[in-house]
Amino acid sequence: MSVRRYPITIICCLAAVVLVLAMPLNVAYGGLSIPSGKIFSVLIGHDLREFLGLEPVSKPLTKIILELRLPRTILAVIVGAGLAIVGALLQTATRNDLADPFLFGLSSGAAAGAVFVITFTGDFLGIWTLPIAAFVGGMCSAITVLVLVTRTINTGPERLVLAGLAVSFLFTAITNYLVFAGDQRAAHSVVFWSLGGLGLARWETIGFAIAGLSILLFFCILKKHQLDALLAGDNTAQSLGVSPKRLRIEVFVVCAFATGFFVSIVGVIGFIGLMVPHLARALVGPLHTGLLVVSALFGSLLVVLSDITSRLILAPQELPIGIVTAASGALFVIFLVMRKSEF
């Protein structure tokens, strides 16, 4: 089956336009719907609002927009782009179409760290307690996988996947033990965090997500041609001066740090890193210059739309965003399977 490729510029422009239109909707809709005029009035500032003769906005509504909805939307854009890029990198490095940011135990380690502070210690560091604990847990799982892989002679993609699965099961067992051994009243908080959510979005915590995305962007700019060489196979990559073993370890380390930053803020949002790279690859091809840009835009758009959906389905109650992404991801996989079965 031949796959039709579309101009990258057109795809990026369309995705960017839809994303720009979706972001104000994410600010407007939720437990409390805010008119677009009020949002515009708050964003332009007090002086310009008086100059244009617009009605003043109440302080509580201004606080909701500037301190809750706006950072939440920005965090959705950053995390969506980051998780999609991580998924694309891991699928290339492992030559595994099912690779995603949570295949290597990163989510399980982060969940173990988060559950530990939720059930035992409490918020002893304020709003930073949960992000720091989740990041430390994710790094522990990543280091464990890296040690297992680097102690072997042949660091192939299949060994990386097996080590990640083993560590994932280990930290899942630790998490379940902590849930049952700790404060049972915190079980709801544990479940909500493990299913993903943007409730911790604050201007103070967005720095974690920006750090993760910055690491990814720098690495992609630096290594995009080496990643393209890896697509042709290990032997061809070596003939071009690329070390597949070293590059895979570098990809894993960078993705582990970036995912740790993302998970520490939003919890486990699945299927973004699995689903989006497949869609982007089908539209623009496997070369990483176009693949990573389109994946980032599609990932941001998917998380923003999922966040809107998660707040409208059971409004005014908020549904964990991971449920929405998992449902859409499952439908996407079913569509792919049925489509391939026709050929």
Instruction: Report yes or no on 239 lying in a domain.
Output: yes
* CATH number of the domain bearing residue 228: 1.10.3470.10
Instruction: Report yes or no on 196 lying in a domain.
Output: yes
Q: How many Å is the Cα radius of gyration of the chain?
A: 21
CA nearest to 227, candidates 255, 249, 247, 253:
247
CA nearest to 321, candidates 194, 209, 131:
194
CA distance linking residue 176 with residue 187, whole number of Å = 11
CA distance linking residue 167 with residue 172, whole number of Å = 8
CA dihedral 33, 37, 43, 45 (to 10 degrees): -130
CA distance linking residue 75 with residue 81, whole number of Å = 10
CA nearest to 111, candidates 325, 322, 329, 305:
322
CA distance linking residue 303 with residue 109, whole number of Å = 23
State the DSSP string of 8-64.
HHHHHHHHHHHHHHHHHHHHH-SSS---HHHHHHHHT-HHHHHHHTPPP--HHHHHI
Burial of 241 (0-12, 13-18, 19+ CB in 10 A): exposed
The predicted pLDDT at position 16 comes to 93
From residue 26, alpha-carbon distances to 56, 59, 77 in Å are 22, 20, 11
Peptide bond into 131 cis (omega under 30): no
Instruction: Report yes or no on 5 lying in a domain.
Output: no
Number of domains in the chain: 1
pTM of the entire predicted model: 0.89
The predicted pLDDT at position 341 comes to 53
The predicted pLDDT at position 2 comes to 44
Instruction: Report yes or no on 60 lying in a domain.
Output: no
The predicted pLDDT at position 285 comes to 86
Instruction: Report yes or no on 38 lying in a domain.
Output: no
Per the structure block, which two tokens stand in for 310?
């998660």
Instruction: Report yes or no on 64 lying in a domain.
Output: no
| C-alpha 302, offset from chain centre | 10
The predicted pLDDT at position 214 comes to 94
The predicted pLDDT at position 143 comes to 84
Instruction: Report yes or no on 270 lying in a domain.
Output: yes
From residue 251, alpha-carbon distances to 150, 185, 205, 245, 331 in Å are 14, 39, 25, 10, 29
CA nearest to 305, candidates 77, 33, 43:
77
Q: What are phi and psi of 260, to 5 degrees?
A: -60, -40
The predicted pLDDT at position 299 comes to 94
In sequence order, the 6+-apart residues with CB closer than 8 A to the CB of 306 are 321, 324, 325, 328
What's the domain range around 84?
71-341
Q: pLDDT (tens digit, 0 to 9) for every residue of the chain, 343 residues total?
A: 444 566 888 999 999 999 999 999 999 887 778 888 788 788 777 777 666 777 777 788 888 888 889 999 999 999 999 999 999 998 888 887 777 777 777 777 877 887 888 777 777 766 777 778 888 888 888 888 878 777 654 556 667 777 778 888 888 888 888 878 766 666 667 776 778 888 878 888 888 889 889 999 999 999 999 999 988 888 888 888 888 888 888 888 888 888 888 887 888 888 898 889 988 988 888 888 899 999 999 999 999 999 999 888 887 788 889 889 988 888 877 877 777 555 4
Instruction: Report yes or no on 53 lying in a domain.
Output: no
